[in-house]
Structure formats: structure tokens, C-alpha cells
A and B are shown apart, each in its own frame.
Chain A
Amino acid sequence: MTVSETTMNQPVKTVPMLSVRGLQKIYKVPGGDVEAVRDLTFDLAEGELVCLVGPSGSGKTTLLKCISGLMEQTSGTIELAGAKVTGPPKSMAVVFQEYGRSLFPWMTVRANVELPLKNQKVPKAERAAFVDAALKSVGLDHVPKSYPWQLSGGMQQRVAIARAVAYRPQVLLMDEPFAAVDAQTRADLEDLIRTIWKQLGVTILFVTHDIDESVYLGERVIVLSSSPTVVQEDLTIDLPAERDQLNTRALPRFMELRSHVYAEIQRAKLGPVTEQITAQRRTAVK
């Protein structure tokens, strides 16, 4: 997965960092098949921050599990920097929604952040430096000896983010990471993601069901249809790079984009007629 120097220095557009081509996922369940994702195609260039937004039940988690190599797709291909994803790739990190269940409760905050690096046999001194920097970048350098369950939900998710940051992935996947935290914490965490993204230059795919969040965070928003899922719209967010919770959200352009995405989601919920029929058939099977 290493990109050679020559390709890096070339001014022409190289292979996308993440490429999803014709992705389809059918769950085989008793009583028939359920097509969660029908046909998804999109690319993420290196260093992009893209939000995936879709109505609930639109297969967002399924999609992310396929991209992260945790689940095998039925058809289609996923490529990370030109290499086919067949299992969890080394240069990818995932932040899950359920922060309480993604950190090891028997390890301190520090040990949690350190474990992936330890597993990669990163030398001790280097490891310590990475962990310190990561904890600092999420504002948790004061609680390394605490256990995750001693922290609030927002802080636990910060630990999970620190773990991903310390790991230095090329691509960071986030599966509705802030869905379970309160609104104020969520705003802080959103700004944190923007900051980390700018600092590290990492490619981020951020899945959310929150329309405002997707517009506020992303440089691009991909709107998914309802299940069986296709890309409904690929929208560039032309908001200024420096964003803050008060001013950005008050911009007329923010309102426009937000309303646009909202309308798209509403349209997605209704879905084309054919999809409605399949949906009905599915409920009939159940």
C-alpha cells in the first residue's frame, strides 16, 4: 500500500485513496434475501473529508463494514490506494458509534490508545510519543491513567479517536461516532474532527444520519437513497475551510446546502416506485 515517491511527486491526479465500485451487499436471511446495498460507486481523493448521509436503514453501517473489510460484499470492489480490500487493511482505522463497546474496559486510556501500536511492534519510545501526541490532540492528556468507563461518553469517544489518530491511518472511517453523545459534546467533537483532519491530512469518511452535521463537517456530502441503497447525490460543500459552530451555521450558504440535503433525504425516503415495491415485498416476507 506504499505509494512510491515518483507517483507522489507527480502533479497529475493519481489513483483515488478510496474507491468503491458497484458495491452490492445482500444478506442471506431465513425467508429470503435482503438487499441492503444495491449499487454504490464513489471515490475519495487523498486528504478529503467526505460525509455519507442517508435515511435510517439505508445501509450506512453495512457499507462501512464492507469498506473496512469487516464484512464481505456480495459484489463490486473496494480499493484502498489502488489495492483491493479483502480484509481489514493495515492503513485504515474505524471509529464506531458504540464508544462504550469499542474500548477495552480492562485497560487504561493510555493502554487502549497504545495497543494497536504495540501490536504493530512500534518501538517503545516512538509509541509513547505517538500516544502522547494523540491524547493531546483530543484534549485528554490529563487522564491517561483513568479507565474508559470512568469517563463521560464524549470523553470515551475522544479516546477512541485518539486511538485512531495514534495509529496514523491513511483512511479514517467513522460510523455515526457522535450519535450517542449530547448536543454540546457533539459540537465540540465535530470541531475536533475538523482540526485533526487539517493537522494530519488524513482521508476521512464520516457516516452520519444528521444532515446539519454532514454539511458542517464535510467538504463533500454523499447522499444515499433508502435501502436498497444507491448514491442519490454527490454534493460539494463550498463553505469556507475555517468553520465554527456559530458563524458557519448562520451562513446563508449553509442554510441552502442544509435544505438541499434535507430535501434529498426526504426524496430518498419516498424512493422510486420500484424500490417501494421491493420494500413492500420484503415486509410481506417478514
Chain B
Amino acid sequence: MSPLTRIAYFFGLPILLIVLWYALSFGSTNFFVPKPIELAQTLWTTWIGDRFFDDVLPSLGRLAVGLFFAIGLGIVLGLLIGSTRWLRNLLEPLLEFFRAIPPPVLVPLLMLLIGVNDSMKVAVIISGAIWPVLLNTVEGVRAVDSVLNDSCRSYGITGFARIRYFVLPAVTPQIMAGVRQSLSIGLILMVISEMFASSSGLGFTIVQFQRNFAIPEMWSGIVVLGLIGLGLALIFQFVERRVLHWYHGLKEITHDS
């Protein structure tokens, strides 16, 4: 695919939808549905300026810290649990139990335990976003190739070297699949944690707009969330392509033959 076609594919449908929206809302006077141009203007005036630094950046900061720890802890604990059989057998039912708890219900609990602050919000993000990475890593470690494992053993590659050169790279495809899910869970929890008890942040601001009937502003906040999600997806794709280039190459070749 040439870069031009790729760009056309990327923007094609969004542009079409905006045009459609523009046409359908042309003569509308519906208070709850803003027109595209109005929304674009609101987007600009609402979010570029103070609010960017007071609400968007802190939200993004908490999201980044939360995701960092969720992914990091998920990988480390996953490697540990996955490679220790007794630990895995011991913890697996418990992990499934915790994973089944919807993280938003932890918000009131964490508010009591940690207080209403940034740490609580980060903790909410971690408590929800860690599971896909953790469980995928455990599953991946369990399923490492037996012949590669024998190769490692016969060359005396054990302990930390085994993790670094064999297990971690071998599990990366599963880890990345987990990270992909964690990103969207993290974004959802970022918003939810700010909706409960907060005086700043994207979630707080959007709820605030809604309560004050600032409908175009509310919509623009939703667009900002969408754009953040898109940004995360693009960063993910960029990283994934670099980290897993061997995996995609390998898959392509095995599918060919």
C-alpha cells in the first residue's frame, strides 16, 4: 500500500461520516446535537488553553502512570507466576476471581483506603488494566515452545538469561495482545475514576458540562477522549510493529507455505 492510499483509508470514512452528519444536521435545531462546525469551534475554545493544562494533561499523566505500572507489574508478575508451577496452581482461581470484579466498583473502596487523590485514580487504572497483561503473560509462559525450551536447557541458558533471551521475547506476542486491551480499559477507568470524586480531569469536566447543560462542550470532551484513544492506538501500533516485526514476518511466511 502506498502512503497516499494508506492516508486515504485512514481519513476516508471519518470524513464521509462528518459530511453525512453535516448534511443531516443542516436545518436541525435540536439542542442536544451540535453541528460539526459548532463542535469544532467548541473543541478548540474549550480544550486549547488553560483547560488543556488543568484537565487534559493531569488526566493523561494519571493514565500514563497507571498504564506503566499495570503493564510493568503485569509482565513481571506474569513471568513469575507463569514459570513457577505451584504458584500458578495456587493463584489461578484467585486471579480469575479478582479479574471478574468490575474495577469501577473498587473506586469507592479505594477512595476510603487511599483517599481522594491522584494515587487513588492511578490505583483504579492499575486494578483494571493489569489483568489482560498479567493473565496473557501467565498463559504465554505456560505455552512456550518445548523444543526451544530444550535448546535453552542443553546450552545451559538458565535463570535470568533464560527469561531475558527466551521467555520474555517468546511471550511478547501475548503480552502485546494484553497491552492492547489494557490501553482501552485504562482509558475507561481514567474517566470513571474522575467522575466519582474529583475537581479536575477529563471525566470530571465532561460530567460538569453535562450538569450545566453545556451540551456542545460535553460533546467536545467526548471527542477529546476519542482522540486520546486514537492516539494510544497509533502509539501501540508503532511500538508493536517494532517489537514484533519478527512475529509478523514469521506468521506471513508460515501462512505462505
* Interface contact A149-B154, CB-CB below 8 Å: no
Q: State whether B253 touches A102 (Cβ < 8 A).
A: no
Indicate if the CB atoms of B157 and A101 lie closer than 8 Å. Answer: no
Contact A116–B147 (Cβ < 8 Å): no
Interface residues of A in 49-102 (CB under 8 A from B): 65, 68-70, 88, 90, 92-94, 96, 98, 101-102
Which residue of chain A has the shortest Cβ distance to B162 in the bound complex?
A119
CA distance A278 to B153 in the complex (A): 34
Q: Chain B, interface size: which category?
A: 20 to 34
Residue B54 interfacial (CB < 8 Å): no
Q: Are B147 and A101 interface neighbours, CB within 8 A?
A: yes
Shortest beta-carbon distance, A116 to chain B, in Å?
4
B161 part of interface (Cβ distance < 8 Å):
yes
**Which stretch from B29-37, B102-110, B244-252 is at the chain A interface?**
B244-252
Of B155, B157, B247, B253, most A-chain CB atoms within 10 Å: B155
Report the tally of A-B residue pairs with Cβ distances under 8 A: 67
Classify the secondary structure of A's interface with B: loop
Whether B151 pairs with A102 at a CB distance below 8 angstroms is yes
Q: How many Å lie between the Cα of A65 and that of B149 in the bound state?
A: 13
Tell me which of A69, A92, A94, A147 contacts B151 (CB under 8 A).
Answer: A94
The verdict on A68 contacting B154 (CB below 8 Å), with A96-B147, A102-B148 known, is yes
User: Closest CB-CB distance, A207 to chain B, in whole Å?
Assistant: 14
Find chain B residues with CB under 8 A from A106 CB: 169-170, 172, 246-247
A-B contact pairs, 17 of them (CB 8 A): A68-B154, A70-B154, A88-B154, A94-B150, A96-B151, A101-B145, A102-B150, A103-B151, A105-B250, A107-B169, A115-B155, A116-B156, A119-B156, A119-B157, A147-B249, A150-B249, A163-B155
Q: Give A contacts to B, CB under 8 Å.
A: 65, 68-70, 88, 90, 92-94, 96, 98, 101-107, 115-116, 119-120, 147, 149-150, 163, 167
